[in-house]
Amino acid sequence: MSFFDFNIIILHSIPVIRSGLYQILYEEFGANTFMFGTHEQLENYRFSENILFFIEEDYYYRHKHEIIMTAKTAQWKKVILIKMLPGKNFMEEYIFGSVNFNDSENQILTIAKDCISKKSQQTEAINHNLSEREKEILKNIACGLSNKEIADRLFISIHTVISHRKNITQKLGIKSISGLAIYAVINNIVEAADIKMV
Amino acid sequence: MNKFSLTSRLSDLIHANIGLLPVLNRFNIELGFGDKTVQEICDSKIVNPDFFLEIVNAYHNEHYFPQRSLMQFSSILVVNYLSKTHRYYIEVLMPELDVLLDRMLSFMLKNNMTYIDLIKKFYSDYKRELIVHIENEEKNVFPFIKEIQHAFDKGISYNELPAEIKAFSIETFEKEHSNLDEKLLDLKNIIIKYLPPDYNSSSCHNFLMKLFFLEKDLIDHARIEDKILVPKVLELESVLKRRISES
C-alpha cells in the first residue's frame, strides 16, 4: 500500500495546550487528528494501524503501559513528548522526540512530518511490477493448479511457490484465485479459455 | 470529532452524513421529520434513544466505537438491528449493484468479452457467498441468540434449554468475514487498478461508489457482531451455565 494511513493522537491534561496543538496539527493533517484528556477515552475508538502520539511528558511516564496497551492493535506507534520544561528525553523504543509547549507551529509540524515521512518511505519502497518468474507462477495459479502441482511443474519447492504467491498478492492487491485469474487475462498472461474459475 | 446527542436535530444528522439514511431506515424512521430531535423521534417511533445514538455515532465516525456502553443493551435489540441491515443488503443494495454492474459492462467493447464474463462471474460468486453467509446467520445464529436471551430474561437454567439450543454455542459462530472482505477488496482493485477503461466512466463510478458504500456498511455490521454480539452472548451463556451449578 503506497498510501500511508495514520492517526495523530494528542493526549494532554491541560485543555488549552491540547486544543492549541490540535489546531496546529489539524490544519496540516486534517481529520486524522484526535485529542483526548485521558487515555481511558481512547477505548471507545478504533484507530489506524499507524499512530503518532503527542503526549504530555509526565503523563506518558506515569501511564506508558496503559497507553501502549490501549493502542495494541496498532502495528506502528511513535511518541512525541510535550514538554513544559526543556531537557533531555530518555530515549526508548517508542519515543521519536519532543516538542516544548512554547515551540513555533513550524517546529511542531517539522517533527511530526519527519516522523511520518520516515515511516511512509519504508512503506512505498515496494516494486509493483511482477517479475517473469512471478508471471509464470501467476499463470499456473490462474489455471487452477495447486501449490504442489506448480512446484512439481516448475521444479521448485512448495515453500518457494508460497513465497512467490505472497509477493504477487502483495504487489497486485489481489488475494483470491479468481481475482488473480482476471488480472492474468486482462494482462494477457493467460488465455481466458485456460481458466478454471474456483 | 462531534458526537450526536439526544438533543441533536435529526435533519442535522443527515446533513452531516448522508450515509446515515439507510441507518435511519433500519429504525423505521422516514424523512420529513422537520426540526425534531433524536429524543423526540425515538419517543414517537418507540426506539431506544441511547441505542440509536450509539449506532449512529459509531457509523458516522469509524474511529468511534463505544464497546462498553453497547454491551449494556439487550442482544435482541442488536439482533433486530443486524437483521434489518441484512434485509437492506439483499433487497436494496445488491439489486442496485446488479443493475449498475450490468450497465457498466454493457458499455465495454465486444472484444473484451473474455474478461467481462470473468468479472460477472466473480461478482456473482461474491454475491452468492454473501447471501449464504446472511442466511446462515438468520436461520441458525439469530434464533439461537434470541432463545438464549429469552432464557436469561426468564431465569431459566442451561439444563432446561431445548437440546438443539444446547448443541450450539456462539463460539462456533464464524467470527471471520475475511474471505468475503477479501473478495470485495479484490473486485475494487481490479476495477480501480487493472481494468482497461473502455467503459462509460460515469457508470463505472456509480458502481464503485455503491461498492464502497456496501463495504463501509459491512465493516460496521461485522464490528457490531464481533465486538458486541459475540462477547455479549458468551456472557449470557456463561451466566446460564452457572445457574446449573448453583441449582
Q: What is the CATH number of the domain that holds A182?
A: 1.10.10.10
pLDDT at residue A155 above 90?
yes
Q: HSE on the CB side for A143, CA within 13 Å?
A: 15
Q: Quote the cell numbers at residue A50.
A: 499507524
Backbone angles phi, psi at A98, to 5 degrees: -150, 160
Instruction: Verify whether the Cβ–Cβ distance B67 to A44 is below 8 Å.
Output: yes
Same domain for A51 and A103, yes or no, is: yes
Mean pLDDT for chain B? 88
Same domain for A110 and A189, yes or no, is: no
Confidence of residue A177 (pLDDT cuts 50, 70, 90): very high
Confidence of residue B66 (pLDDT cuts 50, 70, 90): confident
pLDDT at B111: 64
- Assess if residue A23 is contained within a domain: yes
Quick count: other Cβ atoms within 10 Å of Cβ B51? 19
Q: In this predicted model, which residue has the larger pLDDT, A128 or B74?
A: B74
pLDDT at residue A125 above 90?
no
Strands A50-56 and A33-36: unpaired
Contact A6, A52 (CB under 8 A): yes
What is the C-alpha end-to-end distance of chain B, expressed in Å? 49
> What is the rounded average pLDDT of the residues B84-96?
96
Residue A192 distance to chain B (closest CA, Å): 6
Contact B195, A186 (CB under 8 A): yes
Same domain for A94 and A117, yes or no, is: yes
As a whole number of angstroms, the distance between CA A28 and CA A16 comes to 19
pLDDT at B63: 81
> In chain B, what residues touch A44 (CB-CB under 8 Å)?
64-68
- Assess if residue A88 is contained within a domain: yes
> In chain A, what residues touch B186 (CB-CB under 8 Å)?
173-176, 178-179
Confidence of residue B166 (pLDDT cuts 50, 70, 90): confident
Q: In this predicted model, which residue has the larger pLDDT, A34 or A73?
A: A34
pLDDT at residue B224 above 50?
yes
- Assess if residue A115 is contained within a domain: yes
> What is the rounded average pLDDT of the residues B34-47?
95
Same domain for A106 and A139, yes or no, is: no
ipTM over 0.90: no
> What is the rounded average pLDDT of the residues B97-126?
87
pLDDT at A42: 84
Same domain for A29 and A119, yes or no, is: yes
Last residue of a domain, one of A74, A98, A124: A124
Q: Given A175, A192, A197, which is nearest B182 (Cβ)?
A: A175
Q: In this predicted model, which residue has the larger pLDDT, B160 or A27?
A: A27
Q: Given B63, B125, B189, which is nearest A174 (Cβ)?
A: B189
pLDDT at residue A37 above 60?
yes
- Assess if residue A1 is contained within a domain: no
Same domain for A28 and A95, yes or no, is: yes
Q: Given B63, B183, B196, which is nearest A186 (Cβ)?
A: B196
Same domain for A140 and A176, yes or no, is: yes
Domains in chain A: how many in total?
A: 2
As a whole number of angstroms, the distance between CA B5 and CA B12 comes to 11
CATH number reported for the structural domain that contains residue A36 in this entry: 3.40.50.2300
Question: Distances from the Cα of B8 to the Cαs of B2, B21, B39, B81, in angstroms?
Answer: 11, 16, 8, 21
DSSP A44: G
Closest CA to B56 of B29, B74, B92, B35: B29
A46 in B contact zone (CB under 8 Å): yes
Closest CA to A46 of A74, A65, A19: A74
- What residue of B is the nearest CA neighbor of A6? B63
> In chain A, what residues touch B57 (CB-CB under 8 Å)?
none
- Assess if residue A150 is contained within a domain: yes
Give a three-class secondary structure readout of chain B.
Answer: CCCCCCCCEHHHHHHHCHHHHHHHHHCCCCCCCCCCEHHHHHHHHCCCHHHHHHHHHHHHCCCECCHHHHCCCCHHHHHHHHHHHHHHHHHHHHHHHHHHHHHHHHCCCHHHHHHHHHHHHHHHHHHHHHHHHHHHHHHHHHHHHHHHHHHHHHCCCHHHCCHHHHCCCHHHCCCCCHHHHHHHHHHHHHHHHHCCCCCCHHHHHHHHHHHHHHHHHHHHHHHHHHHHHHHHHHHHHHHHHHHHHHC
> What is the rounded average pLDDT of the residues A155-177?
94
Last residue of a domain, one of A69, A93, A124: A124
Same domain for A78 and A155, yes or no, is: no
pLDDT at A74: 83
Domain of A189, in residue numbers: 128-194
pLDDT above 70 covers what percent of chain B?
A: 95
A vs B, Cβ pairs < 8 A, gives: 74
- Assess if residue A113 is contained within a domain: yes
pLDDT at residue A1 above 50?
no
Confidence of residue B68 (pLDDT cuts 50, 70, 90): confident
Residue of A3, A25, A45, A195 for testing the chain B interface, max B β-carbons within 10 Å: A45
Q: Given A7, A34, A179, which is nearest B190 (Cβ)?
A: A179
Instruction: Verify whether the Cβ–Cβ distance A179 to B114 is below 8 Å.
Output: no
pLDDT above 90 covers what percent of chain A?
A: 60
- Assess if residue A147 is contained within a domain: yes
pLDDT at residue B171 above 90?
no
A138 in B contact zone (CB under 8 Å): no
pLDDT at residue A153 above 80?
yes
Last residue of a domain, one of A76, A96, A124: A124
Q: In this predicted model, which residue has the larger pLDDT, A126 or A96?
A: A96
> In chain B, what residues touch A186 (CB-CB under 8 Å)?
115, 190, 194-196
Same domain for A97 and A150, yes or no, is: no
pLDDT at A2: 39
pLDDT at residue A124 above 70?
no
Same domain for A75 and A21, yes or no, is: yes
Q: Given A44, A178, A187, which is nearest B125 (Cβ)?
A: A178
pLDDT at residue A45 above 60?
yes
pLDDT at residue A88 above 50?
yes
CB neighbour class for A192 (10 Å; exposed up to 12, middle 13-18, buried from 19):
middle
Confidence of residue B58 (pLDDT cuts 50, 70, 90): confident
Same domain for A95 and A184, yes or no, is: no
Residue B66 distance to chain A (closest CA, Å): 4
Q: In this predicted model, which residue has the larger pLDDT, A44 or B5?
A: B5
Residue B124 distance to chain A (closest CA, Å): 12
Residue A183 distance to chain B (closest CA, Å): 7
Which positions ≥6 away from B142 have C-beta within 8 Å?
A: B79, B82, B83
pLDDT at A126: 55
Confidence of residue B10 (pLDDT cuts 50, 70, 90): very high
Same domain for A132 and A119, yes or no, is: no
pLDDT at B30: 93
pLDDT at B163: 84
> What is the rounded average pLDDT of the residues B105-131?
86
